[in-house]
Amino acid sequence: MLLTPWPRGAGMQRGGGRQSLGRAPPAPLVCLGVGRRVSCPPAGRGSAGDAPPPSTQVPSEPSAGPPERWSHLCTGKAHPCPAPSERHPLPFRPALMSRPQVQRALLALTIPLETLQAVKGRMLQAMYKGLSRQTHAQANVRMLPTYICSTPDGTEKGDILVVELCQSHVRTLWVTLLGDGNQSPQVTYKIFDMPEDIIQGKGEALFDFIAQCLRQFLAGISSPQHRLPLGFVFPFSCRQMQLDKAELISWSKGFSCSDVEGKDVVQLLQSAINKQELHHVDVVALMNDTVGTMMTCSMRGEPCEVALIVGTGTNSCFMAEAQQVEMAEEISGKMCVNTEWGCFGDDGTLSDILTPYDQHVDQESSNPGEKRFEKLVGSLYLGEIVRHVLTALVAEKVLFTGSSVAILRTKDVLKTQQVLEIIDNEEGMAKARRVLEALGLQPSEQDCCRVQQICRAVVSRAAALCAAGLAAILSHMCQSRELERLVVNVGVDGELYRGYTRFGEILQSVTGLLAPECMATLLPSVDGTGQGAAVVTAVALRLAAQRREVDQLLAPLRLSRADLERVQALMRQEMELGLGLESHANASVRMLPTYVRGTPDGTERGEFLALDLGGTNFRVLVVRVAQDGIRMASEIYVIPTAVMQGTGEALFNHIIECIMDFQLKQDLMEQVLPLGFTFSFPCQQLGLDKAVLLSWTKGFSASGCVGQDVVQLLREAAQRKQHLGLKVVAVVNDTVGTMMSCGYDDPKCEIGLIVGTGTNACYMEEMQNVGTVEGEQGRMCINMEWGAFGDNGCLDDIFTDFDRLVDEKTINAGKQRFEKLISGMYLGEIVRHILLALVEKQLLFCGKPCPKLQTRDIFQTKFLSTIEIDGLALRQAQAILQDLELQASSEDSLLVQKVCQTVSLRAAQLCAAGLAAVVEKMRENRGLAQLAVTVGVDGTLYKMHPRFSQHLQQMLRDLAPNCTVTFLQSEDGSGKGAALVAAVACRRAEP
Ligand code: ADP
C-alpha cells in the first residue's frame, strides 16, 4: 500500500527572519532567586478556596504539616508568602481547607524539601549507574551517549533539512543558517498528519511515509539538487553509536512499528529516502527532542548545556564530561547525554513519594510499573492523577455532594490541558466550573476551589520533582567539572512549562534550594526542536570538515611503521659509519668513544666530587660511595645566558667560582677529591680525562672552546682563580653518567638514554667494532651523539614545514636535526608553529589573531604534559591558553590537545626507532637470538610526560621484537654517574 501524506491546513510558510512555528509564545519567566522575597501571584476572581471560608478554622502557622514541607498552596493576595529562609525555604501555608480529607490529600501530594533532597540524591545515584559501563545495563536512567560533543558557535552556515517525528505528525523543515551568530535562521516548514495505523504498522511503512513527506516538501519548495544534509529528530530511546548511527531500544508514546527495535534508524530512514530517489539527501545526524531543545536554546549567543522537556512525557539532557560517559569511547571533551529520566524510579526508588492516586494511574496505564518518574511529571498523566484524587474525595463524600459522579470513573475524562486552565489565576475558577459542569457535575463554589487546589498541588509536585532531577544534573556537572560554582543555561520546553507560569517559578526556586552551588538560568525554547536539529547537523558538518582539514595539516607529522623502520635502518647505517675509522668523519652520528670500559661492580668506595654541566642548570656534588650505598649532597647554580653565550674564559671562571662556593659550604676546601665531570656536549674524547669539544648544543655558544680540551679549560680557570685542589680524573657525558648510575643498581644496564632539554644515547659496544680506538678486547661505552642524526640530510623527508621553521630560528640551524624532533627544547616550539598554522587556516580560536602566540618559546614543552593528561586536561589546557591570552572553546582545547599528542607521539616513536637500532646491534654483536638489556633513562620530558615512555616502549617492542628491554629511571644520573665513573677509574688504577 502506498501511503500518501497530506499536508495539514496552511502549515507551509516561508520567509526571511525568524518565523513563528505555530507555537504559543513562551510563558514569561519569573525567576525566584534564593533568599528573595516572593509574593504570591494575585488571586483570581472567586478564589474562595485560597482564603479561608468563614466556617474554616485556619490553623495557626505550620500546624498542618512539618515546617520543611514545601507547599504549592501559595496563592491569595491577603496572604503574601513569607520570604524563603534556610529552614523554610519556600512559602508554606497550611492547607486552607475545611475538611481534613482534603487536607490529607493535599499533604500527600506535597513533598517536603528534605524528601526532594533525597530524591535528588537518588537521581544522582541512578545517573552514575547509567554512566558506568559496569552498571549501565541495569540502570533505569539510561544516560545514553548522543555523540554530540559541542554546542553551536554561531559560525554554522548553510541549508539544512530537518525531519521531526512527532506524536501524530511529521514535520519537515528547511533551515538556512546564515553563520551570523545564528540569530536569524530562515525556516520553512510543513506539517504532515500521520494516519493512526502508521504508528502501529510496519516499520518500513513508517519510514516510507516520512520519506514521502520529505519528497513532497522538497517538491513544494523546488529545492536545489546539491547535497542536502538532514538532521532527524527521533524522540525515542536509542542506543547511539555515532551521530549518524542509532539503534532503537524500544518504542514508547503509543508507537509500536514492527521490525524497528534493535535496528539502525538512520539507516532505515536513509534507505527510505533513497527509495524516493532523493539521492542528494544525506542523513548526517540523529537526535532526540531534548537535544534539539538544548541546541535551539544555544543559538542565542550563550551556550546552553542542559535541556528539559516537560510535555506529554519528560526527559532531559546535558553536556557531560566525555570521560565519564563510559558507554562511549570518547575520553576527552564533553558529550551530550540523554538521561532518559522518565524511567527513574522503575526499580522502586520512588515508592516513598508515590500516593495511592499515582498507583491507580500506573495500574491503569498501558505500561504498569514503568516510567514511574514520567508518570508523576508528564502531562499525559496529570489529568489522571487529579481524577483519582477527586474520585477518592467523592468516595469520602467531601466533593460534589448531590451530583452524579459516575463520569469520574472514566479514564482520561479530565485532560491535562483542562487542569492547566483550572489553575490559572485569572480565569481558573470559572474554568473549573465550566470543566466540571461539562462533565455533568454540579460543583459548589467550594468544590471549584478545592478542585483548583488539587490541580495546583499535582502540577506543583510535578515541577518540584522536575527540579529535584534538574538539581541532580547541575550538581553532577558542578562536581565533575570540579567547580565551586556552576553557572549554566537550561533550555526548557514542553506544554507544562509553557502552559503554567508558576511551573517555571517552582522549577527555578526549588532547583536553587536543592543545588545552591549552581546558578541556572532557564531559557524557554521558542522554536521547538527543529532549528536545534538543524544546528546539530550543521555542527556535525562543520566539525567533519574541520577534522578533515586538521588531519591534512597534521598528516606529515604522523609516521607510519614503514617510516619508523626506515629511520631505524638509517640509524643503524649511521652507527656503522660513525664507528668506522675511515667513515667516521662523514657520519652524522658520531659514535664517540668514552674510554669508559666497564660499568660499576659494587666494590667502588670513596668520596668524590662531581660536576654536571650540560642542561638548564649547573650542579656541583659531593658523592660518598660506601658499602651501604651512595650518599650525595649537591648545590644547583644558574648559568646566566650571557655567560652561556659569552667567552669560554668567563664560562669556566664561573664554573670554578661555583665549585669554590660549594666546597666552602660543604667544608671541603682542604681536601683534594677525585672529580668526575659530566660535560654533556659532543666531545672527541682522547682519554678518560681528555675531551675535545666538537660543538656546542642546547643554547650554549661560549667562544674559544670548540676544538679545546674542556678538562684543560677547567684546569686553566682553576689556576686563574688560584684554586689548587682540583683533581679531574674523568670527563663523561650525561648519557654515560646515567648508564653508570643505573648500572650501580642493575648490572644489565648497558644503555644510557636522555630525553630532556636535548636527547642522546650511549651503549656498550664491542672494542673490535670501534675502529676509532686501538684495541680489540672487551667493550667500551660509545657516546652516540644521536641528536645530530640526520644532519647529513638522511632524514629530510620526515622533516615537516613546522620542523623547518623551528630549526631556522635556532642558534645551530641545520644541526642536531634528530634532537629537534624529539627533545624538550623544541617540542613546545613545534606545537606553537602548528597552532599558528591552524589559526591562519581559521581552524582554531575562530581564526582570531593571537599576538602572544607569535612569541618564540612561549608555548613550553611542559604544557604538553599538562594538556595531555587524561581527565581534567581540557580545563588545564584552557587555563594554559588563557595565560597566553587565548580564549579557547572546548573544541579549541581538544584541538590543541590533539596537536600536542601528535607531536609528542612522533617524538617518542622516533626515539624508539633510534633505540631499536641500538638494541638490535647489541643483540647481533653478541650473537644472541634474544637480548635482555636495561636502559638507564634520564630527562624531564621522559619522566614527566604522561605518555612519552609508554609510547616509546610500545614502539620499541614493535620494532625490536627479539629484545626484552627494561627501562630504569636514573636518580640523579649525571651527578652520581660522574662520581661512579671516577670511582671505577680509581678502582682500576689501584695496584
Ligand atoms: P636537562 O636535559 O637540561 O638536564 P631536564 O632533563 O630537566 O634538563 O629537561 C629539561 C627540559 O624538559 C626542558 O627543556 C623542558 O622543556 C622539559 N620539561 C620540563 N618540564 C616538563 C614536563 N613537565 N613535561 C615535559 N617536559 C618538561
Q: Please say whether the beta carbons of 379 and 355 come within 8 A.
A: no
The residue with cell 683533581 is: 727
What band does 361 get if pLDDT is binned at 50, 70 and 90? very high
SS3 of 53-82: the string is CCCCCCCCHHHHCCCCCCCCCCCCCCCCCC
Cα maximum dimension of the chain: 124
Max mean pLDDT range (28-42, 557-571, 732-746): 557-571
Lookup: cell for 377: 511529571
Pocket of ligand 1 (CB under 6 A): 615-616, 756-757, 824-825, 860-862, 865, 939-941, 944-945
What band does 16 get if pLDDT is binned at 50, 70 and 90? very low
What band does 528 get if pLDDT is binned at 50, 70 and 90? low
Q: What is the mean pLDDT of residues 430-451?
A: 90
Residue 125: predicted pLDDT: 97
d(CA 861, CA 941): 8
Q: Ligand 1 centre from 745 Cα, in Å?
A: 24
Residue 624: predicted pLDDT: 92
d(CA 897, CA 78): 61
SS3 of 815-884: the string is CCCCHHHHCHHHHHHHHHHHHHHHHHCCCCHHHCCCHHHHCCCCCCHHHHHHHHCCCCHHHHHHHHHHHC
Kindly report the protein residue whose alpha carbon is nearest to atom 27 of ligand 1. Answer: 862
| Residue 359 vs residues 126, 246, 382, 438: alpha-carbon distances, Å | 22, 34, 13, 27
Share of the chain above pLDDT 70, in %: 87
Lookup: cell for 914: 633510534
Q: Please say whether the beta carbons of 355 and 108 come within 8 A.
A: yes
Task: Please classify residue 153 by burial: count the beta carbons closer than 10 Å to its beta carbon, then call 0-12 exposed, 13-18 middle and 19+ buried.
Answer: middle
d(CA 231, CA 171): 12
Closest ligand 1 atom number to CA of residue 823: 14
Closest ligand 1 atom number to CA of residue 860: 16
Amino acid type, 680: S
**Element containing residue 765 per DSSP (H, E):** strand 759-766
Long-range contacts, stretch 265-273, CB < 8 angstroms, 24+ apart = 265/232, 265/234, 265/238, 266/232, 268/203, 268/204, 268/207, 269/163, 269/207, 269/210, 269/211, 269/232, 271/207, 272/204, 272/207, 272/208, 272/210, 272/211, 273/211, 273/214, 273/230
Of residues 111 and 973, more confidently modeled:
111
Q: Taking 90 as the threshold, does the pLDDT of residue 317 lie above it?
A: yes
d(CA 552, CA 28): 49
Nearest CA to 265 among 282, 240, 229?
Answer: 240
Residue 20: predicted pLDDT: 29
Residue 896: predicted pLDDT: 92
| Residue 688 vs residues 613, 709, 713, 777, 985: alpha-carbon distances, Å | 17, 12, 15, 17, 8
Pairing of strands 690-693, 727-732: unpaired
Kindly report the protein residue whose alpha carbon is nearest to atom 26 of ligand 1. Answer: 941
What band does 329 get if pLDDT is binned at 50, 70 and 90? low
Q: Ligand 1 centre from 330 Cα, in Å?
A: 30
Q: Taking 80 as the threshold, does the pLDDT of residue 357 lie above it?
A: yes
Residue 725: predicted pLDDT: 83
d(CA 442, CA 433): 8
Q: Please say whether the beta carbons of 328 and 568 come within 8 A.
A: no
Ligand 1: which of 941, 952, 972 to mutate, most ligand atoms within 8 Å of CB?
A: 941
Pairing of strands 592-593, 779-783: antiparallel
Interval 538-565: pLDDT, tens: 888 887 888 889 999 999 999 999 999 9
Lookup: cell for 826: 623544541
Residue 539: predicted pLDDT: 82
Ligand 1: which of 696, 830, 862 to mutate, most ligand atoms within 8 Å of CB?
A: 862
d(CA 902, CA 897): 9
d(CA 986, CA 991): 10
Q: What is the mean pLDDT of residues 184-195?
A: 88
DSSP letters spanning 714-745: HHHHHHHTT----EEEEEE-HHHHHHHHHHHH
Amino acid type, 385: I
Interval 397-426: pLDDT, tens: 888 887 777 888 899 899 888 998 998 877
Would you give the DSSP letter of residue 24? P
pTM above 0.75? Answer: no
